[in-house]
């Protein structure tokens, strides 16, 4: 018999970007399971539709939207739709992002800008639009997904690491500005997490060759390489979004097995 989940977010309205897979998918499913009305935002419409269907099948309330997180008009339209549909917005998880690695001397300006627009501009646009809605609604909570790569410099990681380090700083400024409006803003800096983001890296072909399939390759990242499960990061998202963390704002929560302090 399945143990009932606590209903910490009953009556709350949440938005999760990058919700088609990985951390975003896990966070959306957990929020819905604890009573939140969840908007799933992603460019991958077939996959996000599958996530939405799984939430509905479990009795959750969900809305799926196509959102290019780099686009200001897309953000405005998404917030308008959420407020029109559910009347408010209480929680936002800015999770969408891309992985990229290349030495500085080989890095094209176009690649640099692509990483910054997807990983950093998206957090600025999302936080700005969401804060406006939350201010009108009397407060809320924003969680930005950064990375341990923004805590500790690594060769070949200038673009990605810089984008994630900037998220941490931006989060602290947003927390100061959101405070008077009862808006809490925090970030999480995971280490390596077994998500489809790794499919764009050099590691992935070796994983597929060694394991024989996508699902097995992701699981091997956990069992063989010590990666975290997306659900573990989702658990931290839920804590920071809950009233149990009502005094936490401007905080970055590293989840990297001590990587950033060694």
- Is 164 in the active site? no
Dihedral sign for Cα 238, 44, 160, 167, please: negative
Cross-sheet strand order for the sheet of 91-94 = 61-66, 37-42, 13-17, 91-94, 140-145, 183-190, 252-255
Q: What is the DSSP letter of 56?
A: H
Residue 186 to residue 237: CA distance in whole angstroms: 9
Catalytic residue (one of 75, 100, 160, 198): 160
- State how far the Cα of 82 lies from the Cα of 63, in Å rounded to an integer: 8
Q: Token pair 């405070």 is at which residue?
A: 179
HSE, side-chain direction, 13 A CA sphere, residue 5: 17
CA separation for the pair 11, 252 (Å, rounded): 27
Does the CA dihedral 52-24-230-233 come out positive or negative? negative
Both tokens of 190, joined, read: 């995971």
Q: What would the two tokens of residue 174 be?
A: 């947003």
Q: How much of the chain is helix, strand and coil, in % rounded to 5?
A: 55, 15, 30
Orientation of helix 45-57 relative to helix 22-33, angle to 10°? 20
The two three-digit tokens of residue 123, written as one number: 């957090």
Catalytic residues: 160
């Amino acid at each position: 018999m399945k143990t009932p989940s606590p209903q910490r977010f009953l009556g709350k309205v949440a938005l999760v970007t990058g919700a088609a897979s990985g951390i975003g998918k896990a966070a959306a499913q957990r929020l819905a399971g604890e009573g939140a009305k969840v908007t799933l935002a992603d460019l991958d419409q077939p996959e996000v539709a599958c996530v939405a269907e799984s939430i509905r099948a479990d009795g959750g309330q969900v809305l799926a939207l196509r959102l290019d997180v780099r686009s200001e008009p897309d953000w405005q339209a998404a917030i308008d739709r959420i407020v029109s549909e559910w009347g408010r917005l209480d929680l936002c998880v800015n999770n969408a992002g891309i992985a990229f690695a290349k030495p500085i001397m080989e890095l094209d300006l176009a690649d640099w800008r692509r990483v910054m627009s997807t990983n950093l501009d998206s957090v600025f646009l999302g936080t700005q639009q969401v804060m406006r809605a939350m201010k009108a609604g009397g407060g809320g909570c924003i969680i930005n997904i950064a990375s341990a790569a923004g805590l500790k410099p690594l060769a070949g990681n200038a673009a990605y690491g810089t984008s994630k380090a900037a998220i941490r700083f931006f989060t602290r400024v947003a927390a100061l500005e959101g405070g008077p409006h009862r808006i809490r803003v925090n970030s999480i800096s995971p280490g390596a997490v077994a998500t489809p983001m790794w499919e764009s890296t050099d590691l992935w072909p070796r994983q597929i060759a060694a394991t024989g399939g996508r699902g097995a390759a992701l699981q091997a990242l956990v069992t063989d390489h010590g990666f975290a499960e997306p659900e573990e990061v989702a658990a931290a998202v839920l804590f920071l979004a809950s009233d149990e963390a009502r005094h936490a704002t401007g905080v970055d929560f590293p989840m990297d097995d001590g990587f950033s302090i060694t």
